[in-house]
Amino acid sequence: MGDLLGVAVLGAGHMGADHIRRLDHVVSGARVVSVADPETDRAKEATAGIEGVLVHAEPAAALEAPGVQAVLVASPGPAHEEALLAAFARGLPVLCEKPLVPDAAGALRVAEAEARLGRRLAQVGFMRRYDAEYVRLKSLLDSGRLGRPLMLHCTHRNVSSPPGFTTAMLINSSVSHEIDTARWLLGQELTAVSALRPRPSRNAPEGLVDPQFVLFETSGGALVDVEIFVNSGFGYQVRCEAVCEDGSARIGEGHTMVVTTADGASEEVARDYLVRFAEAYDREVQAWADATRQGRVTGPSAWDGYAASAVAEAGVRAQLSGGRETVDLAPRPDLYGGAGGRTNAPRTHA
């Protein structure tokens, strides 16, 4: 057991419990040594059968547990900043589920704290970068075979929204994945955002403005549109089409099984993200564990997490104003390939 990466997992809810299972059953070279969750019974249930794991109510206790060499943060977003800074203080590499920190100011504090250390410790859990279809699309766009990307058309549908889900969360929780994906696929920053809304679906909970159509402008002159519909009622669907000068490429439709019987053909539709992106999560955590054991940090950085939070904040402002909102990014620290100076002008209303 001594040569396995000892991981402290913070949070044992839906996402945390799945990561605990993944580290125990799927990922090689790592093991769960401690878990923190204020609901300790939930943490004990998630770790049942895992030899030697310690359960704590407080994150600090889990970080101090014997054998901890790295941290996986899967607690609610508002708890991330404190957890990340505590890991940094101990020199522990961290895989942090998105958002890095929900508000851009907090996310920037984390990125600047890491920059002061002079080395990367944090990776943000934007798992789509590890999905086989997205990796192929990224490779195709980078090759230049289709010419300059002009537009990305994105679809993001959920069966239903969980209790307490707000209109702002359509962007800062759900569309945050498309924000990072667009930045990564295009190699461009998102500079402005508009949010449009049809009449809300009758399936949307009272007060939730769902669905919406979100439009992003980029630093390279491309456009990115996202249909976000979190109460579709029929399945979890994530699709992306890149339209370029010399062709187009579409992903998100070919990974399901089609069943044919005498009554006709039917196609499976995933019910949630843990099903649709199961292999991506596996690859993400395996890559993180492998890199950490080698003393490296790869994948989406704390700066990527900050940029996603800043764009999402502009998106929420666009929801409220009904106009076009520009994205205001702080100067990028040298640790992340500093750009020197603000990327965009301060926010304005259309």
Say yes or no: 153 and 208 in one domain.
yes
Q: Average pLDDT of 177-184?
A: 98
Domain membership flag for residue 344: no
What pLDDT does residue 257 have? 64
Say yes or no: 136 and 226 in one domain.
yes
pLDDT for 203-234, tens place per residue? 999 999 999 999 999 999 999 999 999 999 98
pLDDT for 282-332, tens place per residue? 999 999 999 999 999 999 999 999 999 999 999 999 999 999 999 999 999
Closest CA to 137 of 154, 123, 120: 154
Say yes or no: 53 and 66 in one domain.
yes
Domain membership flag for residue 268: yes
Closest CA to 214 of 168, 185, 175: 175
Q: How far apart are CA 146 and CA 148, in angstroms?
A: 7
Q: Average pLDDT of 128-141?
A: 97
Q: Average pLDDT of 140-153?
A: 98
Q: Is the pLDDT of residue 196 over 60?
A: yes
What pLDDT does residue 344 have? 40
Q: Average pLDDT of 23-30?
A: 98
Q: Is the pLDDT of residue 343 over 80?
A: no
What pLDDT does residue 138 have? 98
What pLDDT does residue 143 have? 98
Say yes or no: 167 and 207 in one domain.
yes
What pLDDT does residue 341 have? 36
What pLDDT does residue 314 have? 98
Q: Is the pLDDT of residue 268 over 80?
A: no
Say yes or no: 76 and 171 in one domain.
no
Q: How confident is the model at residue 253 (pLDDT cuts 50, 70, 90)?
A: confident
Q: How far apart are CA 153 and CA 119, in angstroms?
A: 36
Cβ within 8 Å of residue 22, ≥6 positions away: 281, 282, 285
What pLDDT does residue 266 have? 75
Q: Average pLDDT of 20-27?
A: 98
Secondary structure of 63-75 in the HEC alphabet? Answer: HCCCCCCEEEECC
Say yes or no: 196 and 85 in one domain.
no
Q: Which structural domain range is residue 194 located in? A: 132-273+306-336
Say yes or no: 165 and 141 in one domain.
yes
Say yes or no: 266 and 218 in one domain.
yes
Domain membership flag for residue 151: yes
Domain membership flag for residue 233: yes
Q: Is the pLDDT of residue 157 over 60?
A: yes
Domain membership flag for residue 345: no
Q: Average pLDDT of 113-123?
A: 98
Cβ within 8 Å of residue 71, ≥6 positions away: 7, 8, 9, 10, 63, 83, 87, 92, 93, 94, 95
pLDDT for 67-85, tens place per residue? 999 999 999 999 999 999 9
What pLDDT does residue 270 have? 75
What pLDDT does residue 262 have? 86
Say yes or no: 169 and 213 in one domain.
yes
Q: How far apart are CA 251 and CA 295, in angstroms?
A: 34
Domain membership flag for residue 203: yes
Domain membership flag for residue 137: yes
What pLDDT does residue 345 have? 34
CATH of residue 100: 3.40.50.720
Domain membership flag for residue 245: yes
CATH of residue 179: 3.30.360.10
Q: Which residue type occupies 65?
A: A
User: How many domains are contained in the chain?
Assistant: 2
What is the number of other CB atoms lying within 10 angstroms of the CB of residue 90?
Answer: 12
Q: Average pLDDT of 27-56?
A: 97
Say yes or no: 12 and 59 in one domain.
yes
What pLDDT does residue 338 have? 75
Instruction: Give the chain's largest Cα–Cα span.
Output: 65
Say yes or no: 114 and 150 in one domain.
no
Say yes or no: 232 and 250 in one domain.
yes
Confirm if 172 and 315 have CB atoms less than 8 A apart: yes
What pLDDT does residue 78 have? 96
What pLDDT does residue 339 have? 57
What pLDDT does residue 184 have? 98
